[in-house]
Amino acid sequence: MSTNPKAVMDAVRTSGRHEPLLEVRDLKKWFPIKKGLLGKVVGHVKAVDGVSFALGRGETLGLVGESGCGKTTVGRTILRLIDPTAGHVQFDGKSVFDLDSSHMRALREDMQIIFQDPYSSLNPRMTVAAIVGEALLVHGIVKTKAEARDRVAELLERVGLSPKYVNRYPHEFSGGQRQRIGIARALAMHPKFIVCDEAVSALDVSIQAQILNILMDLQEDESLGRPSYLFIAHDLSVVRHISRRIAVMYLGQIVELSMTEELFDQPSHPYTRALLSAIPRPDPDDKPQRILLEGDVPTPINPPSGCHFHTRCPEVMPRCSQEEPPAFLVSGTHAVQCWLYDGKAPVSETGMTVGFEV
C-alpha cells in the first residue's frame, strides 16, 4: 500500500510457524517520461505504485487485473529484470535489491520466469537443447554439453514432450509445445520461485488446461522442491483453477487479497465484483447481474487522487476522492483497500500476510 509501507496489503500474519519464501513491501516502479534533446524528465508512468504481499513455500498466488494495471511489471521487478524505483523484496532471507551482480546471478538459480509469448521468448536460432541447457552450463550445474543434453531430455519428458525433440528448432513446434519448452527452461535450475507471466493466455483453451495441469503436477513433485508460483493472468477462471490465494490489481495497486474461494464467494471491492460479474457462465440459466463500469481507465501518468478507482466506482463516496483508503481486514484471510469497510479492523502495521502458510 502506498499510504503505509508497513501495512501490507496481504494483511496480518496468522501464525509464526512458517516464514514466507517471498516478501514484497511497498514496491514501486515509475517509468520516466523524457522530453526534448536533453531528455528532461517531465513526468512518470506509475506502473507499480506501492504493492505489498507475501508468498509461501510451495504456494501459488494469482495476480489478476485489467491489461495495463502493472501485473507483469510487478513480476519483472521482483526478479530484477527491471530496476525498482522504491520498495523492498526479501527472497529466502535475502534482500534482492541490495545484492550485487555476482550474488544476483547466483540467486537467479532459484528465481525463474515463464514468459507470456511462446513465439517470441524462444531464440529461433537455437535448438531446444541449447535453449533449455544454456543455464545449466552457465551456472555450472553440468560440466559438458552431453550432460546438459541428457538433463534437457529428462526435462522434456517431465513437461510431456519427446526427448527426441532436443535437436529441433522453435519453428518446428506448435504454440502449446513451445510453451512447454519455456516451462522446461524455467525448471532446469530447480528454482524455488517461478513467475508465470500470462503463461497460458496465448494458447487455445484445451492447451491451456494441459499447461495448467503440468504446472500443478510439477508443483507437487518433491524432486523439484515444490516451487512457488506468482501466476499472473487476466482470466479469473484460469486463476481460480490453479491459485491458493488471489490478489486483485487496479492501476498499479493491490485493492483486494483473499483465499481463492472466499474471493469468489464474497468479493468485497467494487472492482473485484465487477470483474467476477463478467465471467461467462456455462449454465444458460445462471445469469448474474452484470456490473458495467463507466468511463475509461485513468492514466497511470496522473492517477486520480484518493482511491484510484473512485472515478469508475458505482459505490463512490465523497471521501473516496480525497483520501486514499488503507487496507481493512474483512476476515482473517481477506483484506480489501476500500472505504466501504471503514468499520473493519485495519491491517496491522507489523503484520505480513493473510494465510500464506502452506
Whose cell is 534533446? That residue is 37
**pLDDT, tens digit, 9 for 90 and up, residues 163-180:** 999 999 999 999 889 999
For residue 350, is pLDDT > 70? no
Segment 148-170 shows an average pLDDT of: 93
For residues 211 and 238, is the Cβ–Cβ distance under 8 A?
no
Query: Is the pLDDT higher at 345 or at 304?
Result: 304
pLDDT tier at 230 (50, 70, 90 boundaries)? Answer: very high
The grid cell for 357 is 502458510
Q: Which three cell numbers stand for residue 213?
A: 495441469
How far is the C-alpha of 322 from the C-alpha of 7, rounded, in Å?
20
- Assigned C-alpha cell, 50: 506501492
Helix axes 128-138 and 175-187, enclosed angle (nearest 10): 10
pLDDT at 18 over 80: no
Query: What is the average per-residue pLDDT within 225-249?
Result: 92
290 Cβ contact partners less than 8 Å away, ≥ 6 residues apart: 277, 278
Residues of the chain with CATH 3.40.50.300: 1-58+72-96+236-358, 111-188+193-226
* CATH classification code of 1-58+72-96+236-358: 3.40.50.300
Distances (CA, A) of 144 to 133, 139, 148, 191: 10, 12, 6, 21
Do 170 and 125 touch, CB atoms closer than 8 A? no
pLDDT value at 309 more than 60? yes
Helix, strand, coil share (%) of the chain residues, nearest 5: 30, 20, 45
Torsional sign, CA 181, 184, 189, 193: positive
Q: For residue 41, which amino acid is it? A: V
Q: For the segment 77-108, what is each residue's pLDDT rounded down to a tens digit? A: 999 999 999 999 999 999 999 999 999 999 99
Tell which wins on pLDDT, 204 or 53: 53
pLDDT tens, 100-134?
Answer: 999 999 999 999 999 988 889 999 999 999 999 99
pLDDT of residue 310: 94
The CATH topology of domain 111-188+193-226 is Rossmann fold (3.40.50)
Mention every residue, 6+ apart, whose C-beta is less than 8 A from residue 269. 248, 255, 256, 309, 336, 337, 338
